[in-house]
Structure 1
Amino acid sequence: MAGGMPGEKARSFRPSVRRLLGLLARRRLSLLVVVACTVGSVVLTAISPRILGHATDIIFAGVIGAQLPSGITKAQAVQGLRERGQGTFADLVASTDLTPGVGVDFTALGRTLTIVLALYVVSSILAWAMGLLLNVTVQQTVRELRADVEDKIHRLPLSYFDRTPRGELLSRVTNDIDNLAQSMQQTITQLLNSVLTVIAVLVVMVVISPLLSLIALATVPLAVLATALVAKRSKPHFLAQWKNTGRLNAQVEEAFTGHEVIALFGRRDEVQERFDERNETLYAASWKAQFISGIIMPAIMFLGNLNYVAIAVVGGLRVASGSLSLGEVQAFVQYSRQFTQPLTQIGSMFNLMQSGVASAERIFDILDEEVETPDPLKPATPPSDGRGAVTFADVDFRYRDDQPLITQLSLAARPGNMVAIVGPTGAGKTTVVNLLMRFYDIHSGSIELDGVETRSMTRADLRSRTGMVLQDSWLFGGTIWDNIAYGDPTASREAVLEAARAAHVDGLVATLPDGYDTVIDEEGGGVSAGEKQLITIARAFLARPQLLILDEATSSVDTRTELLIQKAMVALRADRTSFVIAHRLSTVRDADLILVMESGRIVEQGTHDELLDARGAYHRLYTSQFTGPVDDVDAVAAGR
């Protein structure tokens, strides 16, 4: 989409909110206590101005009473004022609870103020308890949501990770969940408190003066209309903001991972330009989202100020006419502020609400992804003495329905055999391994391990019988010892040392000052590519699998290291079935069976000598590697 806008429309606000509330509803008891504390705090806060207005009446009555002569009744004072032509003042005195000649009753005033102070203290304690309990509830909910996402990620098929940039996924798991937690923490408290405050204050306002209450309510429809109009226009920009945040994270993660390649080919300016472009797109989406949603609060404040002026004017006239006391008008002015302030708060936090819902939708996208097909309820188990016999029978597979990749693939690997799979790039070699490991499920045909169909086994059982050494060796942050022991956490110290010696890691360790306790980072810093590969082979050796899969395990190392790796793999392959994917045909000369694949089919199979004598596809591959440069690549590829 132009300008970095998302290619999908923002979804409805309500379903996502209902789903979030459903997550919170898991802790109903905590929420009920939160609501009870909030109701108590709001009610006490709502009645306090009414009582404080009574204190104002006490002061006002004392001031007016002190101006009247003592020794007469209030009725006599009112009559005297009317006789002197002071009718307005007489109406005011008549509506005021006073005693002529008596000043301010400081005892009653002190008692009233003490009650107000106590109400505010108790209200604050309840508000503190509500905030604390709600914070615990929200954080526990987010913790469960984060655990649900983590669990879901482990159940997603490999195809999801193939089509989703790693930085985008990391952004959803970290940034979006953190943003959702912050939004829930800041908005739920205010929203609950604001709604209850509006209700409580409105009730008290109607009791004091229905007329002034109607004036206060006149601005509410305008505020709701303004909020709805602004929210409708800001929601797509919040979705774009977090979508572009994920894209930018993917860009940064990719650039940091491949910074050596970027520097080597002099593409820093291009990467910087692409970063600036996506950063600018994120800025534009964020600016629009915040600017548009930020209009809500000033608009509601403007309406509230108009409301305040109207109430002050009408209230003053009512006091002058004796319809209301000064304390009642003073209390109503406070209530009008308390009434409009929650509406302003709702408007001000609406951008947070929309930002949180936009992040929630991205998180729910992960939770709604289709998971791997479930394992059978009654899984089959290969015999305990199985040695890793593998059979492919008429296997068909395609990544996309309209693009067949592997068709009618059949092969048999006997226990203890080394099966090599060779062929040009894109022939389907690694796909065969992915199907064997059930990273992808086949569309038709069958794959059997020791006579048991792999789809009738659990994935965990199948993969526990398999060891893999990939072209891109993977090490995690930790010591060399930890990385080797990862193959079998229950292995004894002697078993780990034996695996290290078999993989020729002990020679590497002897050159390091900290030995096996040498710490390496996630990228394997401190050791070379070949040394990392030896460590991964030691890891596979320790696991002692029935099946061994070597996917281009020596393609990126030097000749000396390749010889060490081949020597280690010979020991590793002993007494187990192994599948070796290789471009270097020198590594598969001693294979028991070589499969030559082209376009998802096995076009030849046999031993090294048999395939050379056949002078077919394998002969062409071998010739291209060992008989010097090829002048006509197209001719070789076409078999001429």
Structure 2
Amino acid sequence: MSEQQEEQVTKPGAQPETATQPESPTQTGSPAQEWRGVAGEDAEVTASGNLALAARSRRLLGSLVRPYRGKAWLALAIIVIDNVANMVGPLFIAVALDAGVSSAVHSDFSPLVWAIVGFLASTCVAAVTTFTFLKVTGRLSQNIIFDLRGRIFRHVQRLSISFHERYTSGRIISRLTSDLESLQDLLESALNDALSAILSLISIAIIMIYLDVPLALVVLAGFVPLVFITRWAQRRQRAGYRRTRAAIAKVIVHFVESMGGIRAVQAFRREPRNSEILADEDSEYRDANTYAMFGMSHYTGSLRLIGNTTTAVILLVGGWRVMHGDINIGVLAAYLLYLRRFYGPLDELAQVFNAYQSAAAALEKISGVLEEEPGVAAPEHPIEVGTSSGDVELDGVRFAYSEDGPDVLPKFTLGIPAGQVVALVGATGAGKSSLAKLVARFYDPSEGAVTLDGVPLDRMTDADLRRNIVMVTQESYLFSGSVADNIRLGNPQATDQEVYAAARAVGLYDFITALPDGFETDVRKRGGRLSAGQRQLVAFARVFLASPSVIVLDEATSSLDIPSERLVQEALETVLRGRTAIIIAHRLSTVAIADRVLVMESGQIIEDGAPDDLIAAGGRFAALHEAWEQSLV
């Protein structure tokens, strides 16, 4: 089972209307989408897919480095100086052995002294440049990671509800943690090693050719098998690290879902089964890492075998040439020192190569998220609305959750005058929640238009839309922080007096002031300090403070007990006064405050009228109302 398929099984609440609802349109589409977003999560990709993923990752990395080009060029200049300082050291040793020692025998110590001074000076310069380079690249890497983390967070927040219904929070956390850590490891340490190693290889190759061409040809001959080994290791490790990225995401997803649903886990004694699932997914992560590390061990072992073999051949050939007077002993000594430094960087590059493969796989996942486009796009030429009267109309709307999926709302037309309270009732899967999401513009219709005061919602700015239309769900989510901060979510600029007025309007003021710290009391994680009814009242206080012209309530009282429901009902009447409202409710007690009731079935309105009129007509709503009254007896 792929990560994408696994998520569709384990992600709860992904399809609100029916259990068989198709995926959203962004999961399928053109070939270009095959390598974007969720589709890019799969570990197995084709050769053309590899090219697409690599190009996408390079674009992302280029955009991250571009604002810091100056620091990047400074780092490159420093590492060049550092490389030169390191490379001239063996040359001073060669001069000391071939010229300095022989001159010292004849009492001329100046060549030997100058060679020693030159060697010490190059060592000091190398120490200073290494310190400076690490300082510059450390700050550069932290700035890049800081920018990338913020970019991911901002981008994911503005992605449509359809994305979040199919992409679990655990996978987002994986992008922001383990994937960013892999990239950070590459930028902080491996980048320094890679630049130093590459410059060292180039410099040493030039120096070895300058010192002795025949010996240089022996060294370069070792590169022939090394090229083939590198290509093999690259393919193996890239595939391995793609598997690790997908596997660790599964582990994080399972951990987040288990901790988020810990009440259900403990209530149904699911701890052993959850541990079994984690063991399976963690073993997949372990095996993927092992696979990648085996490739690394083969590559490193082959590299060292080739290096040691080449050193033995150089000793043999070089010693033979020294014996025949073709080269000096100092040249051979310098050559062996350079050869050691030549394969040392190759060994470092092998380690960098390992970090690069891990970071490249992580960058592919991150770039996939960043290339996701909002399913509800901002208009190119928005129409300013300001404060609307609240007149809502759905004109010839057809809606399906995917292009090839069934219509949830087939050719739906509805007008709701400003200030009217409309209740939607009907069986699960009738299309009520889909209608509400269209009005709140969590989705756009497949055909037709949803308008507010005659302006299509897809032509409005997001600020105008959220100012005029607010949706309240049955899950009144509270953020960690004070009660006042949670109420102020409806209007971040609201004064304390406005927050107090909103609390009074929904009947919450006395309760809040009785708390230990009043309005500054911490509600704790997800509002755990408050009851379900109190959390719902906080949500209504937010709405009152936001003062929208249209309110959409999606089963906002379904999880409350009778006393809590009555409190919420009273607050609801206050909040809805003078505003357009669409109420979705299975409890018909909520319908009592509605001016109009729409009974829906299979995406169509089968009854429409005032509550009393529909009851008197003896149709579907009358039967529902009678069943509800009997349930109260």
Offset, 1:568: 0.6
Does the residue aligned with 1:478 lie in a helix, a strand or coil? coil
Moved more, 559-568 or 7-16: 7-16
Query: Which residue of 2 is the match for residue 400 of structure 1?
Result: 402
Indicate how the Cα distance of structure 1 residues 19 and 392 shifts in structure 2: closer, same or farther if over 3 A, else same. Answer: closer
Q: Match for 1:403: what amino acid?
A: P
**Cα deviations by residue, 1:554-586 (Å, 9 ceiling, x for unpaired):** 111221111111101111111111111111001
How many residues align structurally? Answer: 591
Match among 478, 495, 499 for residue 498 of structure 2: 495
Query: Which residue of 2 is the match for residue 78 of structure 1?
Result: none
Q: Distance in 2 between matches of 1:447 and 1:531?
A: 33
Q: Distance in 1 between matches of 2:85 and 2:385?
A: 70
Query: Which residue of 1 is the match for residue 243 of structure 2?
Result: 240
Query: Which residue of 2 is the match for residue 15 of structure 1?
Result: 55
Match among 382, 386, 389 for residue 387 of structure 1: 389
Q: Distance in 2 between matches of 1:357 and 1:144?
A: 18
Q: Distance in 2 between matches of 1:16 and 1:549?
A: 40
Alignment of 1:309-388 (within 5 A): 309-382=312-385, 384=387, 386-388=388-390
C-alpha contact (below 8 Å) 2:43/2:243 kept by paired residues: no
**Cα deviations by residue, 1:500-550 (Å, 9 ceiling, x for unpaired):** 111122232233211111112331121111111111111111111111122
Indicate how the Cα distance of structure 1 residues 523 and 352 shifts in structure 2: closer, same or farther if over 3 A, else same. Answer: same
Offset, 1:182: 1.6
Determine whether 1:486 maps to 2:489.
Answer: yes
Offset, 1:611: 1.6
Query: Which residue of 2 is the match for residue 123 of structure 1?
Result: 126
Offset, 1:376: 3.2
Match among 246, 250, 255 for residue 252 of structure 1: 255
Match among 553, 571, 577 for residue 574 of structure 2: 571
Offset, 1:16: 5.1
Indicate how the Cα distance of structure 1 residues 14 and 425 shifts in structure 2: closer, same or farther if over 3 A, else same. Answer: closer
**Cα deviations by residue, 1:116-158 (Å, 9 ceiling, x for unpaired):** 1001111222222222222222332333333332332233222
Offset, 1:287: 1.4
Q: Match for 1:395: what amino acid?
A: V
Q: Match for 2:84: what amino acid?
A: V
Match among 538, 552, 555 for residue 541 of structure 2: 538
Q: Match for 2:406: what amino acid?
A: Q
Match among 180, 185, 188 for residue 188 of structure 2: 185
Q: Match for 2:69: what amino acid?
A: R
Match among 272, 284, 287 for residue 284 of structure 1: 287
**Cα deviations by residue, 1:59-100 (Å, 9 ceiling, x for unpaired):** 653xxxxxxxxxxxxxxxxxxxxxxxxxxxxxxxxxxxx69x
Q: Distance in 2 between matches of 1:491 and 1:629?
A: 41
C-alpha contact (below 8 Å) 1:530/1:557 kept by paired residues: yes
Does the residue aligned with 2:259 lie in a helix, a strand or coil? helix
Query: Which residue of 2 is the match for residue 30 of structure 1?
Result: 71
Q: Distance in 2 between matches of 1:629 and 1:236?
A: 62
Which blocks of at least 5 consecutive residues in structure 2 are unaligned? 7-40
C-alpha contact (below 8 Å) 2:100/2:111 kept by paired residues: no
Query: Which residue of 2 is the match for residue 68 of structure 1?
Result: none
C-alpha contact (below 8 Å) 1:231/1:293 kept by paired residues: no
Query: Which residue of 1 is the match for residue 36 of structure 2?
Result: none
Offset, 1:352: 0.8
Q: Distance in 1 between matches of 2:624 and 2:108?
A: 109
Determine whether 1:207 maps to 2:210.
Answer: yes
C-alpha contact (below 8 Å) 1:473/1:536 kept by paired residues: yes
Indicate how the Cα distance of structure 1 residues 227 and 156 shifts in structure 2: closer, same or farther if over 3 A, else same. Answer: same
**Aligned-residue RMSD, C-alpha:** 2.3
Indicate how the Cα distance of structure 1 residues 20 and 564 shifts in structure 2: closer, same or farther if over 3 A, else same. Answer: closer
Does the residue aligned with 1:375 lie in a helix, a strand or coil? coil
Q: Distance in 1 between matches of 2:327 and 2:272?
A: 74
Indicate how the Cα distance of structure 1 residues 200 and 17 shifts in structure 2: closer, same or farther if over 3 A, else same. Answer: farther
Determine whether 1:423 maps to 2:459.
Answer: no
Query: Which residue of 2 is the match for residue 84 of structure 1?
Result: none
C-alpha contact (below 8 Å) 2:94/2:334 kept by paired residues: yes
Moved more, 471-480 or 459-468: 459-468
**Cα deviations by residue, 1:420-469 (Å, 9 ceiling, x for unpaired):** 11111111111111101111111222222123222221232111112332
Indicate how the Cα distance of structure 1 residues 308 and 345 shifts in structure 2: closer, same or farther if over 3 A, else same. Answer: same
C-alpha contact (below 8 Å) 2:376/2:442 kept by paired residues: no
C-alpha contact (below 8 Å) 1:436/1:447 kept by paired residues: yes
C-alpha contact (below 8 Å) 1:294/1:351 kept by paired residues: no
Indicate how the Cα distance of structure 1 residues 6 and 391 shifts in structure 2: closer, same or farther if over 3 A, else same. Answer: closer
C-alpha contact (below 8 Å) 1:171/1:245 kept by paired residues: yes
Does the residue aligned with 2:525 lie in a helix, a strand or coil? coil
Offset, 1:103: 5.6
